[in-house]
Amino acid sequence: MTSRTASSQAAFAAQLDAEQATPLLAPLVAVLARAERLVVTHVALDHFRDVAAVVAGPTERLRVQFLFPSLLPDAAHADPETVRSAAGILARLPRIEVVPDAVAPVFAQIQAKLDAHGQARNAAAAAAAASGTGGRGSKLPPLYVNGRRPGKLKWLHAQVFGTGHGLGATTVTANLALVRSLQELGVPLSVWVHQPRSLTERKDLMMVVSGGEGRGESP
C-alpha cells in the first residue's frame, strides 16, 4: 500500500468518524430547507456528477437520483419508492434549480490577473529554457491582488462563488481555506461553511469487508 493510499484512507476514516460523532446531513438540511430558493451552477453540478459517478455508494446514488433525477443515467431505473426512502429528510428541501454560470465582475477580474500572471510565468520559463540558461532569470515577481498573494484559486471557484455573488445568494461550501483566501483579497462573500464530508459510503463498505470492524485497511 502506497503512502498516498494510506493517507487517503486515513482521511476517509477521519471523515467517517466525524460523521458518526456529529452527523452533518440533518443540520445542513435544516439550514437549506429555510431557503426561499436553492440553486446550483452548471459547472458545480457537472463536477458533482463526475465525483458521484465514480465514488458514490448505493444509498448516495439513490439520494443523487432523488435530488437530480437525470444526473446519473444508470440510476434512472431505480424504484421510485426506494429512491424516496433513501432520500429521507432530503424530501424537506425545495427543488434545486440549475442556473447558468454567470461570474460576477470582481471574480472575473481576479481570475484574469491570475491567468495573465500564469501565462507570463510560462513564457518566461520557456524563454529561459530556449536560451540555455537552465531556468535562471525565468522567475517573475509574485502576484499581489489588493496587497495579498492569492491562494490556489481556480476558474471553477470563480464560476461557483462568482455566480453566487452575482445572484446575491449564500454559497454553501466546505472549502474554508478558499473562503479565507477570497476574504483576504477583499472579495465580498456570503457563505455558509460546513465541515468536509466526502461521499464515503462505498469506502466504508470496503473498509468493513477488508477490516471487519469498519476501519480496516484495504490491501
pLDDT 10s digits, 21-63: 777 888 899 999 999 999 999 999 999 999 899 888 888 899 9
- Residue corresponding to grid cell 424504484: 79
pTM passes above 0.75: no
Q: Residue 89 and residue 105: Cα distance in Å, rounded? A: 37
Of 31, 19, 50, 63, give the one whose Cα is nearest residue 172: 31
Q: Residue 65 and residue 202: Cα distance in Å, rounded? A: 17
pLDDT at 11 over 90: no
Helices (H) and strands (E) in the chain, counts: 9, 4
Report CA dihedral (201, 204, 206, 212) to the nearest 10 degrees.
-150
- Residue corresponding to grid cell 466504508: 204
Q: Residue 15 and residue 121: Cα distance in Å, rounded? A: 37
pLDDT, tens only, 117-172:
778 878 877 777 777 665 555 566 766 666 556 666 777 788 888 899 889 999 99
pLDDT, tens only, 83-93:
999 999 999 99
In degrees and rounded to multiples of 5, residue 172 shows phi and psi of -95, 125
Higher per-residue confidence, 6 vs 87: 87
